Amino acid sequence: MLNEIIAFASISSHSLDVKGLAAAAEYAKGLFSPLADETTSVPLPSYKNLDNDGNWKEFPLGSLLTFKKLRKNAPVKLLLVGHYDTVYETLFPIRQEGDYLYGPGVADMKGGIILILNLLSWLENSDLKEKISWEVCLNPDEEIGSPSSGPLLQQAAFGKTLGLVFEPSLPTGATVNKRPGSKTLVIEAFGKGGHAGRDAHVGKNALVALSEVALYFASLQNLEKGITVNPGWMKGGVSANVIPDKAVLVVNIRGEPEPFEEQLEAISQKRGVRFVVTQKNNRPPRHCLPKTLQYIELLGLPSEPSFGVSDSNLLEAVGLPTLDGLGPTGFNLHSKEERLFIPSLLPRLEVLKKFLTSITNRQI
């Protein structure tokens, strides 16, 4: 498995790198197609987002890959989900140090995809294969919120018995049983520009108003209640002697903070600046369905809540019991110190083999 992970992670596949995603998709098809009865590649609609100057722009995306082994009479129908995009715009060296493999996406989540591959390879050579029908969905836009693939993943969930999401397990080795909701707000501020000296009495500084908004949102964070609020990106102004007439702020919210509309209106009135709020990449909270709890018990691994979100939020929102965090153990995700705990690979594979055996012998 290790060499397969290294080879896959060596292909740059940032969420908006269409060329890199295409190369990663071809690699994945070479791995999974020999196991499947049916392989499809669905180009996704473009993604509307801000460019580096804070202006709205359409960005092309990669393709959703699906691999199906169709067995109409199989009592168990699995949906196995992974994403082959990463957060890294450029590759950095992959290296092994002791029990750890460092590199872009080795844990999040090309390691998880390779685990899916090895699990299905085992299944197709076992006595269980006629009892399990499966579909693998690999999406290229999870790291930006699955804006285009999300509805397709939810369509794939219908008619399935169980969803399996191979995000990396938590640093403790635990799977994930609950995730908060997540949404991203784009707040555009429109003021009145002019000369920083001569027009100071009539100018309306959009950047100052939005800075006040950013501080307000930061104050809503409450880790004890599972609420994180991150004003993560702001753009505005052209030079020190020009009053900014426009500024843009991007805020990520996880959990359910108090309503913010009234405070934004108060800042708008105070500063004489108009705000336009656009919500994107909304993922509902994942509270863990009752049947999911039964599958977690059958799996036999510890399971904990996570502040992160994943495509399991989308699957459980349409009623599919879903196990998440099934991938190898990962640390420092989304950083240049991302690493995979190599000794977690084979034990996790063995647990999953036993789990597939168990679900074919039990009705939940």
What per-residue confidence (pLDDT) applies to 280? 85
Q: What is the CATH number of the domain that holds 198?
A: 3.30.70.360
The single-letter code of the amino acid at 350 is: E
- 215 shares its domain with 304: no
- 223 shares its domain with 309: no
- 207 shares its domain with 269: yes
Identify the band that residue 255 occupies on the pLDDT scale cut at 50, 70 and 90.
confident
Final residue of a domain: which of 251, 282, 313?
Answer: 282
Average pLDDT rounded to a whole number, residues 51-74: 95
Q: What angle do CA 182, 188, 190 make, to 5 degrees?
A: 160
**Environment class of 224 (CB within 10 Å of its CB; exposed 0-12, middle 13-18, buried 19+):** exposed
Average pLDDT rounded to a whole number, residues 24-38: 98
Q: Report percent pLDDT > 70 for the chain.
A: 99
Identify the band that residue 54 occupies on the pLDDT scale cut at 50, 70 and 90.
very high
Mean confidence (pLDDT) of the chain: 96
Tally the residues of the chain.
364
pTM flag (> 0.75): yes
- 214 shares its domain with 157: no
Final residue of a domain: which of 282, 302, 325?
Answer: 282
Q: List pLDDT tens digits, range 159-200.
A: 999 999 999 999 999 999 999 999 999 999 999 999 999 999
With 90 as the cut, is the pLDDT of residue 256 above it? no
What per-residue confidence (pLDDT) applies to 150? 96
- 53 shares its domain with 106: yes
Contact between 166 and 119 under an 8 Å Cβ cutoff? The reply is: no
Q: How far is CA 32 from CA 19, 120, 137, 231, 277, in A?
A: 20, 9, 11, 40, 42
Final residue of a domain: which of 282, 305, 329?
Answer: 282
- 338 shares its domain with 229: no
Q: What is the DSSP letter of 108?
A: I
Q: For residue 340, what are the β-bridge partners?
A: 101, 330
Average pLDDT rounded to a whole number, residues 87-95: 96
- 41 shares its domain with 157: yes
User: DSSP 3-state assignment of 134?
Assistant: strand
DSSP 302-346: -EEE-S---THHHHHHTT--EEB--EEEEESTTSTT-EEEGGGHH
What per-residue confidence (pLDDT) applies to 363? 66
- 31 shares its domain with 120: yes
Residue range(s) defining the domain that contains residue 47: 2-180+284-361
Residue 216's H or E segment, with its range, is helix 206-219
- 45 shares its domain with 166: yes
Number of domains in the chain: 2
Q: List pLDDT tens digits, range 111-129.
A: 999 999 999 999 999 999 9
Contact between 279 and 185 under an 8 Å Cβ cutoff? The reply is: yes
With 70 as the cut, is the pLDDT of residue 136 above it? yes
- 111 shares its domain with 41: yes
Q: What is the CATH number of the domain that holds 94?
A: 3.40.630.10
Average pLDDT rounded to a whole number, residues 307-319: 95
Average pLDDT rounded to a whole number, residues 335-352: 98
- 144 shares its domain with 40: yes
- 263 shares its domain with 151: no
Contact between 169 and 183 under an 8 Å Cβ cutoff? The reply is: no
Q: List pLDDT tens digits, range 269-295.
A: 999 999 999 998 778 999 999 999 999
Q: Report percent pLDDT > 90 for the chain.
A: 95
Contact between 145 and 184 under an 8 Å Cβ cutoff? The reply is: yes
